[in-house]
Amino acid sequence: MKQLWTIICYVVIVWSSTTNGFCGTVDTTDIGEGFSGIKWGTDIKDLQTFEKAYTKDNVDFYLNPDKAYSLEKGTPVTVLYGFSANKLFAVYIDLETMEIYGKVNRYIRKKYGDFPDKSYSSKTNQVIKKWKYKDVKIKLKLNNESLQMKLAIYYLPLSLQVSEEMQETFPKTRVEFLPTLKTKKKPKQLFPLLSF
């Protein structure tokens, strides 16, 4: 009986250290908890390798030079992390082609619902599809004039502090991810983007 109890304790310890069972880790596949292993609300000070790309309207945008993402065939996509008051509240992903936009749209519809809220902003001349999951809003944006496309993921408890108008506009200049700003180092591996 003592040996059975020891085995049960061992199984519980192994399980809790390799899953989210008793740990404070983030489930990287649950966008409601965070993005790619980084919990929503994480302070930028805790992300030592991140590099600042630019600041706009009291929001700081960062790149992560240690992790690159790909949609297909090893082609990297630009991923910007948005911080308000030094806390992660958003992730922005440039979508380079209509084909990629279509793939992302199909993935999100399959995972988060076939009928998103859809709106058109005459001020920014863009179509915005919106999904809500837990405390996260997912927006797929297409600017009809410039044909810029992006996926934006917002953590609502923090994004409400940032103006909705600022969130809807596209940056004036695009940021190229590889090579990164300061280090010019390339990540060793491209991670699949469509896993959230």
Is there a single domain that holds both residue 181 and residue 137?
Answer: yes
Measured CA distances, 50 to 142, 149, 166, 171, 196 (Å): 27, 24, 22, 19, 20
Amino acid at 36: S
User: What mean pLDDT do residues 62-66 have?
Assistant: 87
Report the number of distinct structural domains present in the chain: 2
Is there a single domain that holds both residue 113 and residue 155?
Answer: yes
Is there a single domain that holds both residue 16 and residue 102?
Answer: no
Residues 84-113: pLDDT tens digits?
Answer: 999 999 999 988 889 889 999 999 999 999
Is there a single domain that holds both residue 14 and residue 91?
Answer: no
Is there a single domain that holds both residue 122 and residue 183?
Answer: yes
Is there a single domain that holds both residue 106 and residue 42?
Answer: yes
Is there a single domain that holds both residue 35 and residue 21?
Answer: no
Class of residue 168 by CB neighbours under 10 A (exposed 0-12, middle 13-18, buried 19+) = middle
Amino acid at 78: T
Other Cβ atoms within 10 Å of 6 Cβ, number: 10
> Among 49-58, 79-88, 127-136, 157-166, which is the least confidently predicted range?
157-166
Residue-range definition of the domain harbouring residue 2: 1-25
Helix (H) or strand (E) holding 120: strand 117-121
Is there a single domain that holds both residue 114 and residue 51?
Answer: yes
Is there a single domain that holds both residue 15 and residue 43?
Answer: no
The number of C-alpha atoms within 13 Å of 16 and in the hemisphere containing its C-beta is: 9
Is there a single domain that holds both residue 52 and residue 138?
Answer: yes
Is there a single domain that holds both residue 42 and residue 135?
Answer: yes
pTM: 0.74
Residues 142-159: pLDDT tens digits?
Answer: 999 889 999 999 999 998
Question: Six-digit token pair at 8?
Answer: 């049960």
